[in-house]
């Protein structure tokens, strides 16, 4: 690839980037990934004479959190454009953590993002993307195949988006969890009695229902959340989604939890400044040591235009439960009560087994090499 087609960001991880165990939130990493992708995509789309534009995030392919990142480490995020179609840009992003005291480095994340360039003069207009040069014809062919696959998957996902997550009244038990919602600020908040007990022996084998851990967050979209076009940054949305998914996981297992992976995140429609967004999450599947949470983002654009609520983003997050020593713990089983919950559980099980089989195949291939 051309040298101009790469970008790197670095930032030290602070206490407000991490959970109570000192592990950096998955949403923080996702936000940095999107920032790097947005910069390189916007820069490339404005590299030739033409209509000024801003790259908007359309999709994030599945990304695995390969290794935890801790407070005090430096996150080095590198982004590279690997394919362009007429109206979209594919960006490959790698994240590496660096211990600046010892110099030790490790790869924590790899992600693929897709962007579309929107005109600054007309936000509903998608402008053409300047082509890139490929070192080999095979690279272009492989990129085109990935483009067609993600395009089809986005269409299929959007067709399934009629589902809603209804609020549950008092889902917690015994006052263990309180949930608070208000306007114009981050509003999902866990309150546990006493904090130290969260990381002590509170693991239970008792199964929990979907409603027991279901959570939601309401957020008023302000100027600091938005791009030059007045629409929400994809990274801001993903961070909010990760917060909700983390609350669902913590409610379910009552232990420290970390993001293990995120299935494809599809951005179906833009979210405008002034919208009120509702980020909702529910447990869909549990294996012995992992939890899959489905997260929706719905937008109410009633400030400037009387439009009905619409589905803006959807994704599946996978979390694992950890002990105080950072070792994986068994999680409570998910008790499904309705036919829809049972169907979603089986679908989640299928995704889990498919991912497990793919990971085992990759390990076998690596061992043979």
The one catalytic residue among 17, 242, 263, 298: 242
d(CA 17, CA 24): 5
d(CA 59, CA 48): 24
d(CA 93, CA 261): 15
d(CA 138, CA 132): 14
Residue 307 DSSP symbol: P
Cβ–Cβ contacts within 10 Å for residue 124, how many? 7
Residue 303 DSSP symbol: T
Let me know the angle formed at the C-alpha of 185 by 179 and 191, rounded to the nearest 5 degrees: 25
Residue 72 DSSP symbol: T
Q: Is 19 helix (H, G, I), strand (E, B) or coil?
A: coil
> Are residues 315 and 295 in contact, defined by beta-carbon separation less than 8 angstroms?
yes
The answer to whether 266 is a known catalytic residue is no
> Are residues 313 and 299 in contact, defined by beta-carbon separation less than 8 angstroms?
no
The answer to whether 19 is a known catalytic residue is yes
Structure token digits, residue 161: 């988006």
Residues in the chain: 369
Strand (E) positions, the chain?
A: 6-12, 53-60, 63-65, 74-84, 89-98, 105-119, 208-209, 215-220, 256-262, 265-267, 276-286, 290-300, 310-322, 328-329, 334-335
Instruction: Kindly list the catalytic residues.
Output: 19, 242
């Amino acid at each position: 690839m051309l040298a101009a087609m790469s970008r790197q960001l670095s930032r030290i991880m602070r206490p407000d980037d991490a959970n109570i165990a000192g592990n950096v939130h998955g949403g923080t990493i996702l936000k940095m990934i999107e920032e790097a992708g947005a910069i390189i995509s916007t820069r490339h789309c404005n590299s030739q004479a033409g209509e000024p534009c801003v790259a908007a995030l359309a999709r994030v392919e599945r990304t695995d959190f390969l290794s935890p990142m801790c407070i005090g480490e430096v996150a080095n995020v590198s982004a590279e454009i690997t394919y362009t179609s007429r109206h979209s840009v594919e960006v490959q992003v790698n994240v590496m953590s660096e211990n600046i005291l010892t110099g030790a480095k490790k790869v924590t994340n790899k992600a693929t993002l897709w962007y579309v360039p929107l005109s600054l003069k007309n936000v509903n207009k998608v402008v053409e993307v300047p082509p890139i040069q490929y070192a080999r014809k095979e690279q272009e062919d492989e990129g085109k195949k990935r483009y067609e696959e993600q395009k089809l998957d986005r269409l299929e996902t959007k067709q399934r988006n009629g589902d809603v997550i209804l609020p549950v009244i008092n889902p917690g038990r015994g006052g263990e969890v309180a949930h608070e919602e208000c306007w114009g600020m981050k509003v999902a908040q866990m309150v546990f009695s006493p904090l130290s007990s969260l990381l002590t022996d509170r693991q239970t084998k008792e199964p929990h229902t979907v409603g027991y851990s279901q959570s939601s967050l309401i957020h008023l979209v302000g100027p600091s959340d938005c791009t030059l076009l007045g629409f929400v940054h994809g990274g801001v949305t993903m961070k909010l989604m990760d917060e909700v998914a983390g609350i669902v996981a913590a409610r379910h297992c009552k232990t420290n939890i970390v993001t293990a992976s995120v299935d494809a995140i599809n951005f179906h429609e833009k979210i405008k400044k002034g919208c009120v967004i509702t980020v909702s999450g529910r447990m869909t599947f549990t294996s012995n040591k992992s939890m899959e949470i489905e997260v929706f983002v719905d937008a109410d654009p009633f400030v400037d235009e009387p439009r009905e609520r619409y589905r803006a983003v959807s994704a599946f997050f996978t979390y694992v439960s950890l002990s105080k020593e950072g070792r994986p713990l068994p999680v409570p089983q998910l008790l499904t009560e309705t036919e829809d919950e049972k169907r979603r559980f089986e679908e989640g099980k299928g995704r889990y087994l498919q991912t497990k089989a793919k990971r085992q195949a990759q390990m076998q291939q690596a061992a043979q090499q």
